[in-house]
Amino acid sequence: MHDTTTTPPPAAPARGRILLAGLAMAVPAIAIALTRLVWGDAIPVDVASHWSGTGAPDDSLPAAGVFLVTLIIASVAAIAAIILLALPKPDMRTKRMIILFIGIAAGSAASVWIIPTWLTVQAGSVDGAVLGWWVVPLAACSLWGVIPAVLLPAQPLLAGAAARPAPMDLGETEVGAWSRSVTALLFLWLALALVAIGAVAYTPILLGGESGVAMFGLSILALATLLCASFIRLRVSVDWRGLRVVSLFGIPMKRIPLDQVDVVEATDIRPMDWGGWGYRIMPGRSAVVLRSGPGLVVTSTSGKQFAITIDDPEEPAALLQALAARAGSRV
């Protein structure tokens, strides 16, 4: 079993990624300080601070106060992140989650200073600082935490040798196949809830004749509904093609060929260990998590992991191990 009380020192590539993540966390604070130096006396006393749309601002704040507050927030976030990354604990999964949130705070602080101040400087006054398409980078900066979180090295979630079923005993000419459908009612109720929200929110708008606004919102809502519906029922199979996961609409969601299978484990899967519910993609790992409980974890020859929640995962794990071993012996 893996020792959960100690954290081994990271390898050289991992240390490099940790360093990059730390540098990424410092970028917002550096950007705030540099822009203040570059713009210098061109910065007016007040800068735009709030827009009700993409037009002219409807409020302003003292530039000195905005600069000071945002620099403190971004600097504290950077220092906290660097200290956290230097500590041996907590584990990398917990560090990634913390870095994500404080990175969002740092990125948001940078956007609150840089973009409104730049627009005010360019316009020469607060009234002329039209937001326009700058609303896109203003919103995107709040996602800055994703960058250092992705840069951090992955921490494998291996369940241990006791959770690795022995390969299934197959005859020389015997062919094995396993298939099962898994249902997640959670996503059914979620899809129905989205339909209900769309009906309540957009029916009055459509009746009011504002079809353009309604169609844009309905399109996004319909896409989200279809995405949720695709997880209601999945088909998981193990055969000569490897491990395959196909959605309700017949769309392949994951395929791992036999020659890429390294380790197969049957273990309990906790959604928060894999980023939540649904189709989760993280550095070095991905998962289809429909609930908490037993599931299959496959580690590929490249070191990447894929997990899916299914009942009685021991049988497909044993079969996949056997088929992968047979495929490897024929190479």
pLDDT tens digit sequence for 132-175: 888 788 878 888 888 888 888 765 544 443 367 777 777 666 77
| 29-43: pLDDT as tens digits | 999 999 999 998 888
Q: For residues 301 and 258, state if they share a domain.
A: yes
The answer on pLDDT for 112 being more than 60 is yes
pLDDT for 214 equals 66
Please state, in angstroms and rounded to a whole number, the distance separating the CA atoms of residues 189 and 181: 18
The least confident of 98-112, 122-136, 163-177, 262-276 is 163-177
Residue 6 lies in a domain: no
pLDDT for 25 equals 92
Specify the DSSP element, H or E, that contains 69.
Answer: helix 63-86
Judge residue 107's burial from the number of C-beta atoms within 10 Å of its C-beta, 0-12 exposed, 13-18 middle, 19 or more buried: buried
How many domains does the chain fold into?
3
pLDDT for 207 equals 67
Q: For residues 77 and 55, state if they share a domain.
A: yes
Residue 292 lies in a domain: yes
Please state, in angstroms and rounded to a whole number, the distance separating the CA atoms of residues 99 and 147: 10
Residue 51: φ, ψ to 5°: -130, 140
Instruction: Give CA angle at 114 (136, 80), nearest 5°.
Output: 100
Structure confidence at residue 48 as a pLDDT band (50, 70, 90): confident
The answer on pLDDT for 3 being more than 50 is no
The answer on pLDDT for 19 being more than 60 is yes
Asked whether the whole model's pTM tops 0.85, one would answer no
Q: For residues 294 and 314, state if they share a domain.
A: yes
Structure confidence at residue 6 as a pLDDT band (50, 70, 90): very low
The answer on pLDDT for 189 being more than 70 is yes
Q: For residues 77 and 92, state if they share a domain.
A: yes
Q: For residues 122 and 173, state if they share a domain.
A: no
Q: For residues 266 and 169, state if they share a domain.
A: yes
pLDDT for 10 equals 47
Which residues constitute the domain of residue 22?
A: 12-151
Q: For residues 50 and 141, state if they share a domain.
A: yes
Q: State the CATH number of the domain containing residue 168.
A: 2.30.29.30
Count Cβ neighbours within 10 Å for each residue of 148-172 and write b for 16 or more, e otherwise.
bbebbbbbebbbeeebbbebbeeee
Residue 4 lies in a domain: no
Q: For residues 213 and 244, state if they share a domain.
A: no
Residue 316 lies in a domain: yes
Residue 118 lies in a domain: yes
Secondary structure class of 258 (helix, strand, coil):
helix
Q: For residues 138 and 19, state if they share a domain.
A: yes
Residue 75 lies in a domain: yes
Q: For residues 207 and 265, state if they share a domain.
A: no
| 310-321: pLDDT as tens digits | 988 999 999 999
Residue 2 lies in a domain: no
| 217-262: pLDDT as tens digits | 778 888 888 888 888 889 999 998 999 999 888 888 899 999 999 9
Q: For residues 222 and 318, state if they share a domain.
A: no
DSSP category for residue 275: T
- Sign of torsion, CA 261 262 264 268? negative
Q: What average pLDDT is seen over the chain?
A: 82
Q: For residues 211 and 243, state if they share a domain.
A: no
Residue where a domain terminates, one of 171, 205, 229:
229
Query: Measuring CA to CA, which residue among 86, 79, 126, 87 is closest to residue 106?
Result: 79
